């Protein structure tokens, strides 16, 4: 269940101000909520605790209230110090294990953050606020934040059930797949390719269903060796190449500790959160007040979930029947389907499919490009509207469906299907009325043959194909300038 939506588009500076209601509920659950046990017919105190806090890199940095990436002490798991390119006058800090001057950080003995170090830093913040005046306190807090990498209390602070920082594991989806892998694209040299394959083995080790302590220790050594090679290949211990030593590469060092404390990485990655965001985005309708729209959607979903849980209304609250997987229809589709290469539209054109046209035959007319219309609607309440499209007819399939109740109204019928490669970016234009062109052809789609309405021609000029559609009795395109006087009289 979503606890709420923080409005954007920019991230908040004080996440705690948005999480105060949730923090208060966590405190109430820690004390105990009087609850009735229907089985024993007695009341008891229900207690609950937050064990893990999951999110992407930015979200966890905001929740922990640390300065985070690009700062002098950027890591949320240890107190490694960053270095910047002074010769290049860069202001961002990076975290290589070996600095250009030879200073070395032992990846097996990093200064890890702990609850004691957190409490010590927070006491210093509180002392500064009580001893110094406002301006001096602000400067002292800024210096302390640069030294410790912290800006104050974490967002969830009332209940001490979250171990700092172990209860906030690094998300392997964002760490590996979103930040590290996209930067490894130098495959002209085999050593870079081999280096990437070693990362693939590391990811598989992180995603094991179960892991022993020895396997996690082996994974730790593999990650350390991989980072050393990364710095050798990409960073080369040069100050001008510091920017490749990002926080995400350093964060790989802490993944084994997260596995030992929180379990395999597949249990703590935030794919479910990204999917929930996709569901919210799909339900977004208001362009003027998007954040209010999102708030209402989340609130209404929470209402429905509570009604469902309290009164067992799953069937009643299901607005539409659950969609069956396409694989469920595979047993009813014939193994062999006849294919046709030529057809004629009633009182219309003859069409030859691309499969029936000879390859490279310049003397033959290409009659495989067609005009087709598919009905669609922007919303479930809007009327169906036919959208004009153009494409290449690859083949025509005859699909004879068996008598099966799962097929409903299509049972026992024969359907003629058109396999079409659509012309991209025609934007629903009618080439019989306006100039319509395209450059590329998209992936094939399958639709009913009745959607095909006419055969069209094409003219190539200036790296584009212009469609000649005579459906309405007109011929397009016309390449004569509009202001040119074509009247010879």
DSSP string, 273-330: HHHHHHHHHHT---SSSHHHHHHHHHHHHHHHHHHHHHH--HHHH-SSPPPPPGGGGG
CA dist 156 and 127 (Å) reads 21
What's the pLDDT score for residue 474?
Answer: 47
Dihedral-angle region of residue 216 (phi above 0 means left; psi in -120 to 50 means alpha; beta otherwise): alpha
Chain-wide mean pLDDT for the chain? 86
Render pLDDT for 289-309 as a digit per residue (tens, 0 to 9).
Answer: 888 888 888 888 888 888 888
What's the pLDDT score for residue 2?
Answer: 74
The CA-CA-CA angle for residues 266, 271, 274, to 5°, reads 165
Please report which helix (H) or strand (E) contains residue 199, including its range.
helix 190-206
Question: Sign of dihedral through CA atoms 166, 171, 175, 179?
Answer: negative
Render pLDDT for 411-470 as a digit per residue (tens, 0 to 9).
Answer: 888 999 999 999 999 999 999 889 999 999 999 999 999 999 888 999 999 889 999 988
Strand partners, 452: 372
> Which segments in the chain show pLDDT lower than 50?
320, 474-489
What's the pLDDT score for residue 1?
Answer: 65
- Tokens linked to 33: 């909520």
Cα separation of the two ends of the chain: 77
Strand partners, 336: none
What's the pLDDT score for residue 176?
Answer: 92
pTM, whole model, 2 decimals?
Answer: 0.65
- Tokens linked to 383: 């009327």
SS3 267: helix
DSSP state of 471: T
- Tokens linked to 108: 């097996």
Domain boundaries, the chain: 57-267, 329-468
SS3 85: coil
Dihedral-angle region of residue 136 (phi above 0 means left; psi in -120 to 50 means alpha; beta otherwise): alpha
Render pLDDT for 340-391 as a digit per residue (tens, 0 to 9).
Answer: 888 887 766 778 888 887 665 555 678 889 999 998 887 777 888 889 999 9
What's the pLDDT score for residue 347?
Answer: 67
DSSP state of 360: T
Whether the Cβ atoms of residue 385 and residue 376 lie closer than 8 Å to each other: yes
What's the pLDDT score for residue 485?
Answer: 45
């Amino acid at each position: 269940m979503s606890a709420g939506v923080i409005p954007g588009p920019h991230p908040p500076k004080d996440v705690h101000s948005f999480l105060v209601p949730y923090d208060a509920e966590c405190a109430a659950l820690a004390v105990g909520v009087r609850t009735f046990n229907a089985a024993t017919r007695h009341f008891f105190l229900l207690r609950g605790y937050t064990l893990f806090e999951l999110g992407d890199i930015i979200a966890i940095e905001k929740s922990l209230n640390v300065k985070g990436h690009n700062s002098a002490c950027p890591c949320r798991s240890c107190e490694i110090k960053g270095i910047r390119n002074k010769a290049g006058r860069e202001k961002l800090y990076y975290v290589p294990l070996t600095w250009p001057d030879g200073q070395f950080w032992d990846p097996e003995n990093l200064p890890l953050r702990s609850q004691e170090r957190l409490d010590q830093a927070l006491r210093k913040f509180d002392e500064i606020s009580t001893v110094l005046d406002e301006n001096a306190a602000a400067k002292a807090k800024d210096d302390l934040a640069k030294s410790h990498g912290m800006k104050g209390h974490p967002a969830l602070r009332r209940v001490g059930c979250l171990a700092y920082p172990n209860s906030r594991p690094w998300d392997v989806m964002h760490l590996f797949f979103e930040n590290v892998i996209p930067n490894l694209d130098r495959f002209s040299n085999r050593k870079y390719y081999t280096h990437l394959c070693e990362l693939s083995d590391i990811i598989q080790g992180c995603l094991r269903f179960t892991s022993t302590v020895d396997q996690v220790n082996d994974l730790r050594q593999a990650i350390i060796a991989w980072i050393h090679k990364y710095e050798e290949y990409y960073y080369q211990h040069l100050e001008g190449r510091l920017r490749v030593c990002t926080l995400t590469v350093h964060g790989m060092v802490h993944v084994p500790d997260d596995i030992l404390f929180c379990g395999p990485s597949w249990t703590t990655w935030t794919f479910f959160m990204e999917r929930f965001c996709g569901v919210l985005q799909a339900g977004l309708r208001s362009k003027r007040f998007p954040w209010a729209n999102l708030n209402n959607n989340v609130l209404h979903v929470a209402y429905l979930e509570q009604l469902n849980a309290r009164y067992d209304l799953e069937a009643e609250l299901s607005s539409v029947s659950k969609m069956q997987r396409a694989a469920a229809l595979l047993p009813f589709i014939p193994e062999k389907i006849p294919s046709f290469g030529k057809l004629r539209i009633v009182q219309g054109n003859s069409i030859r499919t691309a499969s029936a046209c000879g390859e490279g035959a310049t003397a033959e007319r290409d009659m495989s490009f067609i005009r087709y219309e598919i009905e669609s609607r922007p919303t479930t309440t809007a009327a169906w509207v036919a959208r004009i499209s153009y494409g290449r007819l690859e083949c025509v399939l005859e699909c004879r469906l068996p008598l099966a109740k799962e097929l409903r109204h299509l049972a026992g019928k024969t359907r003629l299907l058109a396999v079409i490669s659509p012309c991209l970016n025609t934007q629903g234009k009618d080439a019989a009325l306006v100039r319509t062109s395209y450059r590329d052809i998209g992936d094939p789609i399958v639709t009913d043959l009745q959607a095909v309405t006419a055969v069209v021609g094409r003219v190539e000029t200036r790296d584009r194909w212009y469609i000649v559609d005579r459906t309405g009795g007109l011929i397009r395109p016309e390449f004569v300038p509009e202001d040119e006087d074509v009247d010879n009289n």
